[in-house]
Amino acid sequence: MYEEMDKTYVLHTYPRNYVNFKEGRNATLFDEKGRDYIDFTSGIGVVSVGHGNARLANVIYEQAKNLIHTSNLFLIEPQAKLAKRISELSGMDVGVFFANSGAEANEGAIKLARKYGQKHFKNKRYKVLTLEHSFHGRTITTVKATGQSSFHKNDFAPYPDGFSFHDQIKNLLSAIDDETVAVMIELVQGEGGVQPLDKKAVKELASTLKEKGLLLIVDEVQTGVYR
């Protein structure tokens, strides 16, 4: 019944498996027939504290029954507290940008890189280089940043300029030209098949970019928050 409802009313952008999960406890899921599953998918790698986490549920409940949304136009006390905590835990001198999704986080990083290119280079560098088999999101820009041609369907054309992908870090480095402002990588490629990058090559990439005054964007959407 719900499968039919889904097929009739949901706009389908994903192939879907019709298992109907009704309950979750930590890493175990139960479908409508009570069958249990170990959740290795973990919401595509994002359910860091498991299902039915009482502490998380209570915090969400306490907030939702009070202030639900006031917008970025006003001070948001819990946001300031969380930003301070994340910044301190990171051990770096960083400001925190809160986004609704991985794609939005990457869009934000690309915008920051372009702004940096506008500000610091006379010729206003804007190009962002990425790696083959990467995945950076499903918005028009992040889909173009994604290093898989199968994602660049004509259905969504034209795409923004300034993105190219390369099969290995060595070739990424040689593709840097006088319009390049940043390189964006996943340290462990997720959609690319759980492929860790070579640590030494990443370190070399980071120091070369630093020498040139260019930016390294690390997409930690899959690997962040200690996952």
Ligand X SMILES: Cc1ncc(COP(=O)(O)O)c(C=O)c1O
Q: Enumerate binding residues for ligand X (CB under 6 A).
A: 44, 101-103, 106, 135-137, 186, 190-191, 219, 221-222
d(CA 132, CA 147): 4
For the bound state, the minimum distance from the C-beta of residue 191 to ligand X, rounded and expressed in Å, comes to: 6
Kindly write down the DSSP assignment for every residue of 149-165, as one continuous string.
Answer: GGG--GGGPSPPSSEEE
d(CA 167, CA 190): 16
For the bound state, the minimum distance from the C-beta of residue 202 to ligand X, rounded and expressed in Å, comes to: 15
Nearest CB to ligand X, comparing residues 41 and 171: 41
Nearest CB to ligand X, comparing residues 166 and 219: 219
Nearest CB to ligand X, comparing residues 135 and 163: 135
For the bound state, the minimum distance from the C-beta of residue 33 to ligand X, rounded and expressed in Å, comes to: 29
Nearest CB to ligand X, comparing residues 117 and 190: 190
143-160 core/surface letters (b: 16 or more CB in 10 A; e: else) = bbbbbbeebbeeeeeeee
The SS3 assignment for 55 reads helix
d(CA 142, CA 139): 5
For the bound state, the minimum distance from the C-beta of residue 158 to ligand X, rounded and expressed in Å, comes to: 22
